[in-house]
Chain A
Amino acid sequence: MAKPLIVCRDLSIIYNKGKSNEFKALQGVSTDIFEGEYIILFGPSGCGKSTLMYSIQGSLPPGEGTLLVKGDDVYSYPPAERVYFQRYVMGIIFQQFNLIPSLTVLDNVALPMIFCNTDKTTRNRRAQSLLDRFGVGHVSHKITPMLSGGQQQRVSVARSMINDPKILLADEPTGNLDSVSTQQVMDKIDEINTFDRRTIIMVSHNAAHLSYAHRVYYLKDGHVVREVVNPQRKQIKPVREGETIVTELEQLARLFPYDSVETLRVKSLVNYLTQDYSFDQLVRMEHAISLLIQGKIDRSAFIKSMTLPYERGGVEVDEKEARRMASIAERMINRADDVRRFRARKDNNDIFFSQDKLAERMKEHLTHEYRIKLSKEQNNNMTEIIADRVTGVIEATDMNERMMRGIRSGGLSLSEREADDISRHFEKTIAQGIDVSYK
């Protein structure tokens, strides 16, 4: 059995020990990280994930416990050897990029080599080739403040690789980046792991990144609360048969990264009781619906992706059911337009604002959907209720209550069941049609 590259046993780090502001950043943390693994330390801010990373980096001696990198205690090294360790074993990427603004991009990347007495030609050639590799070679002679955030982070990825370190540490590398740059940087880091076979330890609180890692350590209040294996990646850590098995909990953990194991167990059971579909099916269904809402696929494409067998990337729903879903979804999306229009006119204070007409149409749809016959008075009352709800004068519960009220007092005299159905349906429509980019 291969030995782990980094071993932490009962690691504790306490800031300001013995003072009134004593803070236990890490308490009894144990981790094993193997060579070539992609590890994410995940958790909310203040959970101790960065503390653990910097402790592995050699800048933060542990108060208690053992920390071994390649079998050695880094903190027992003499100062010169620790500097050597930080130069050649560890590469680091920061959230704030931490490039030196008074140096050119090329010099920034070459800086770690400057400290290693490498001559100028060698280090510039190496720095330039790394910059080219990470797609920022054309800006090598600019100074760093002239670069975009994404470019700066790619420069700092290049810098971390200049001395060809065994381990790459990344402290929320995409925390300050837009989504496109985030994707680029994550891909480059992934490439360093899969292509260069470097061990990656990343600190993150972005759940979207979890699928990159082999394993994720979830930290909370200085403890490792659980270790989750990514079933999508071939594991490097040797697993003894039966010791740990990949369960639905791992899958759920990626869907709900901030929930505890207990909550996940609850979710698993509730899902089984209420749904006919598995979590995997739900995930795919969500994807298809989102494309439908965005208008990227039409009804037939939607039905096709719903009915396709699971192995071929579909949801594997029978056709009749798929058609039913498609028509409901489509109707709802179409009616949402009325809600949108209604609110748009209201906001613009249009003098030709035909509130009644739109509200009337929404009422027609609703009554048609539930096949209820209403008297003229009831019709008027319902139009009013709908208008009030879409304007925002009343809440969902008020609407429900008004529909059950007597006709004379402005209600519809519906049964509780009917009122619930209608208001639930209408709330879904409003949810589709409402503009939530609050001003």
Chain B
Amino acid sequence: MRVQDLAQLSTRMFKTNPLRTWLTILGMGVGTAAVVVLVGLGFGLQKIILEQIVFGETLLSLGVSSTGAQGLRLTPETVANFELKDGVLDAAPLARFPALVTYKGLTGNVFVQGVEPPYLRYAGVTASEGEVFEEEDIEDTNSIMLSPATLKLFGIADEDIEGFIGEQVSFRLLVPADDGSEEVNEIIIDKQYTVRGITKEEGTLNVLMMLPELRNYVGIEEYERIQVRVDTNENLPLVEAVLIEEGYRVTALSKTVEQASKIFQGIQAVLATFGGIALIVSAIGMFNTMTVTLLERTKEIGIMRTLGASPNDVKYLFVSESVVVGFMGGVTGILMGVAFGMSINLFLNILASQFGGQAVSLFSFPLDFLTFIALFSAGVGYLTGIFPARRASTLNPLDAIRYE
């Protein structure tokens, strides 16, 4: 039988029995829609979390800090040392000093952190307002970035953050005395810094300043933290292991991401299981319909067989019919599921904009996933059709033709 004839013969049910055909498709569709919605929710949640983490270099970086226990110190030599290690591309340090910040006569306690621009990239520091330090800003001596909590010191409300860009603040550094005593020397930096950006770090009172500028006022012998940029993903665990062996405390963002991914895969699996149950129920329904169709068509099969249809012709006819129904069910389900997810998204976004929250997409439907679902439902159609089809093809034509 030629494909176009097969297609014509196996779509007759839309004309001869439209109600039952569409109900079967709807049944498959609802099952598929359940899978699409639930897995789409999983994808959406995962995306929401991962969108907050900067990808790229951040994932290839290790954050190294001293445990303090073995007297390991992070010094400029350590940085140079790290850079020489196999698989390490670069190392960027962070120096940290307590300080007092003054804005329009208000003074508060903060930490001034001296960094070079690569560190910001490796650590994944981004700006919620204003600009981050770029590579060419290394010689910058006039601007700083603040964490949002710092603004709270000056009584700046959340909605006025944007207006704070370009404001001027001044610092007094609190540097521990060289002699090892508890004494703290206060170094007054006699100039005004311009605020160029606000970071996203919640909960800490931090000021970011270029490391060379900080060196102008204080000698730096020990770093708080070093970000080590590893060349490839494969080397990440190797370098990490080496550093841990040397006694450093190492944190890797990639680990966190991996863990988050795993958790979400778990959540997706659970959601997909529930959706899958719905799909199984509808597949059983479809199987039932195909079996009834077979009984109904017994006579027709007998006629076709005596007219010269081969058993395979009969089989193809049945299988293609159920594949068509399965695939249509899949497409219907995708349409229903996506429409449902999209409307929930829209509803949430309207709600969010009403209450001043951030817009989120709770549901996400990657194209690959939808294609897979469409093909999968066609596959389910095939499976529900193959057994009735096999039975149909083995029927004795004479018995079949006399079946009423």
Contacts and interface: CB of A to CB of B under 8 A. Distances in A.
B309 A98 contact: no
Interface in B16-70: 16
Contacts of A202: none
A112 B303 CA distance: 10
B1 A60 contact: no
B298 to A, nearest CB: 12
Interface in A134-165: 159, 163
Contacts of B307: 86-87, 92, 111-112, 115, 159
Contacts of A116: 308
7 contacts: A54-B398, A79-B311, A83-B310, A98-B299, A101-B16, A102-B12, A120-B4
B242 to A, nearest CB: 69
A98 B310 contact: no
A327 interface: no
B249 to A, nearest CB: 74
Given A59-B398, A60-B398, A98-B401, A111 B306 contact: no
B306 A80 contact: no
A57 interface: yes
Interface of A: 54, 57, 59-60, 79-80, 83, 86-88, 92, 94, 98, 100-103, 111-112, 114-117, 119-120, 159, 163
Interface string B305-319: 111111101000000
Interface in B371-404: 396-398, 401
Contacts of B1: 114-115, 117
Contacts of A159: 307
B393 to A, nearest CB: 11
Interface residues of B, number: 24
Contacts of B313: 115
B5 A114 contact: yes
Contacts of A163: 308
A115 B310 contact: yes
Task: Please list the 3 inter-chain residue pairs (A to B) with the smallest Cβ-Cβ separation, ordered nearest first.
Answer: A87-B308, A102-B16, A83-B310
A182 to B, nearest CB: 22
A177 B309 CA distance: 28
Contacts, number: 57
Contacts of B398: 54, 59-60
A59 B397 contact: yes
Contacts of A117: 1-2
Contacts of A57: 306
A101 B2 CA distance: 21
Contacts of B2: 114, 117, 119
Nearest to A87: B308
Interface of B: 1-2, 4-5, 9, 12, 15-16, 299-300, 303-311, 313, 396-398, 401
Contacts of A98: 299, 303, 401
A87 B4 CA distance: 20
A15 B336 CA distance: 54
A112 B308 contact: yes
A234 B2 CA distance: 45
B303 A115 contact: no
A79 B305 CA distance: 12
Contacts of A92: 306-307
Nearest to A99: B303
Query: Which residue, B16, B306, B308, B309, has most C-beta atoms of chain A within 10 A?
Result: B308
A102 B401 contact: no
Query: Which residue, A100, A117, A159, has most C-beta atoms of chain B within 10 A?
Result: A100
Contacts of A120: 4-5
B324 to A, nearest CB: 15
A78 to B, nearest CB: 11
A111 B304 contact: yes
Contacts of A60: 398
Contacts of A114: 1-2, 5, 9
Nearest to B396: A59
Given A79-B310, A83-B309, A115-B304, 19 more contacts: A59-B396, A79-B311, A86-B306, A86-B307, A87-B308, A88-B308, A92-B307, A98-B299, A98-B303, A100-B304, A101-B16, A102-B15, A102-B16, A112-B307, A112-B308, A115-B308, A117-B2, A159-B307, A163-B308
A120 B15 CA distance: 21
B303 A100 contact: yes
Nearest to A51: B398
A115 B314 CA distance: 10
A157 to B, nearest CB: 13
A163 B16 CA distance: 27
Nearest to A55: B398
Contacts of B4: 120
Nearest to A160: B307
B308 A83 contact: yes
A100 B300 contact: yes
A196 B288 CA distance: 48
A101 B303 CA distance: 12
B24 to A, nearest CB: 17
A117 B308 CA distance: 12
A346 B1 CA distance: 70
Contacts of A54: 398
A349 B299 CA distance: 55
B299 to A, nearest CB: 8
A88 B308 CA distance: 8
A142 to B, nearest CB: 14
Contacts of B300: 100
A413 to B, nearest CB: 66
Nearest to A100: B300
A102 to B, nearest CB: 4
A100 B309 CA distance: 14
Contacts of A102: 12, 15-16
B300 to A, nearest CB: 6
Contacts of A79: 310-311
